[in-house]
Amino acid sequence: MSAGTGEERPPRRPPRRRGAAESLGSIVLAAESLVVFLGGLLVYGLAALPAGIEPWWGIVAGSTVALVMLLAGRTLQHRWGIVLGWILQGLVLAAALLVPAFALVALIFGGLWAYATIKGASLDARNARLAQQDPTPDGE
């Protein structure tokens, strides 16, 4: 019973189980979002944008891409969320045209993203196969 109201609350639904690809991918995108935000500050500080574009747009772009990465981490249970993550990896690689150091960021985080999505999907498939063989959780 709730304190003071005399009403009973409905039982809470257990949280949705996240797969390995979803968990690993969201971790990669969260860490990468920090680097991308700082990269936006770097673009601003170096005034690396083409002539005619104000340098503060570097901060706006870095903040926006970082925010989209954080939001994309919440959509990885869907196939389009994984595709969005790949698009974001390509965007980071394209930023190397402005600041060549982004190529290193794209190489490192792109590799982590590939591992998270590919190996995570194979772990999820293996776990689903094992769950079908042994229907009791944790082998009880």
For residue 25, give the DSSP letter: H
Integer Cα distance of 78 and 132 in angstroms: 22
Please give the Cα distance from 120 to 114 (Å, whole number).
9
**pLDDT of 137:** 60
d(CA 77, CA 59): 30
- Report the pLDDT value the prediction gives residue 124, as an integer from 0 to 100: 86
- Residue 5 has a pLDDT of 67
pLDDT value of position 82: 95
Report the pLDDT value the prediction gives residue 17, as an integer from 0 to 100: 78
- pLDDT score recorded for residue 37: 98
Q: Are 88 and 72 in contact (CB under 8 A)?
A: yes
Q: What is the pLDDT along the chain (140 residues), one digit of tens a residue?
A: 555 566 788 888 877 777 888 999 999 999 999 999 999 999 999 999 999 999 999 999 999 999 999 999 999 999 999 999 999 999 999 999 999 999 999 999 999 999 999 999 899 889 888 888 866 665 55
Q: Nearest to residue 75, comparing CAs of 64, 90, 85, 62?
A: 85
| Measured distance CA(97)–CA(107) in Å, rounded | 14
